[in-house]
Amino acid sequence: MKIKSAIATLAIATVLPVSSAWAQSADELAFQQLGAALKADDVERQSAIKTCVEQGIGENPAGLAKLMGVPVEQATVAWCARTTNGIAQGKLNWADISALNQGTVTPNAHSVLTTTSDGH
């Protein structure tokens, strides 16, 4: 599955007026498909990292930089490489990503974010 279609599936799942249990199930399935695509295709994985870097990680990356042990100016690249590779390697699951979106760092996410990935 191409990343664009996985992202589209995630986007659709979050806007459809359906039960939350179904939406979560659909989101998890799309996430699993995304992970498989990232693992199977290095070009897709690198493209996902590049897209993430272009989108940025917010207005104040200082907290993430501190957590990851990198200078602030390297936080975006480190975040994108570490999370994308973590998903591709199966080290981050749907619950970890959902928690990060809520501002909570799970033990899995902490391990991924504090471990250098692809030199970042």
Give the pLDDT confidence of 37-64 residue by residue, as tens digits.
999 999 999 999 999 999 998 887 999 9
Give the residue among 108, 48, 107 at the shortest CA–CA distance from 80. 48
| Residue 72: pLDDT over 50 | yes
Flag whether pLDDT at 9 surpasses 60. no
Provide the percentage of residues in the chain whose pLDDT is more than 90.
62
Q: Look up tokens 């899995």; give the residue.
A: 108
pLDDT at 112: 97
For the whole model, what pTM was predicted?
Answer: 0.78
pLDDT in tens, 19-39: 444 455 778 899 999 999 999
- Does the pLDDT at position 13 exceed 80? no
Helix (H) or strand (E) holding 26: helix 20-40
Contact 46, 36 (CB under 8 A): no
CA atoms of 7 and 2, how far apart (whole Å): 9
> Quick check: 90 and 35 in contact, CB under 8 A?
yes
Are 112 and 92 within 8 A, CB to CB?
yes
